[in-house]
Amino acid sequence: MIIVAYREQDHDKLVEIWESAVRATHTFLEEHHIQFYQQVVSPSKSKVVTSR
């Protein structure tokens, strides 16, 4: 595994990975909790609502 420094160009993909991991492992969180933390990790995506 190669670990690289954060690159802005990877931000959206990292947020996707984060959200997928949270939804898979944090089943105790309600949707509004996930949306709150999504605003923290990606303020530009704060109005995006996803459901799975």
Band (8; pLDDT cuts 50, 70, 90): very high
The pLDDT tens digits for 10-25 are 999 999 999 999 999 9
Band (52; pLDDT cuts 50, 70, 90): low
The pLDDT tens digits for 25-41 are 999 999 999 999 999 99
Q: Which two tokens stand for residue 3?
A: 């670990």
Q: Give first-to-last CA distance, the chain, whole Å.
A: 30
pLDDT of residue 44: 73
Under 8 Å between Cβ of 19 and 34: yes
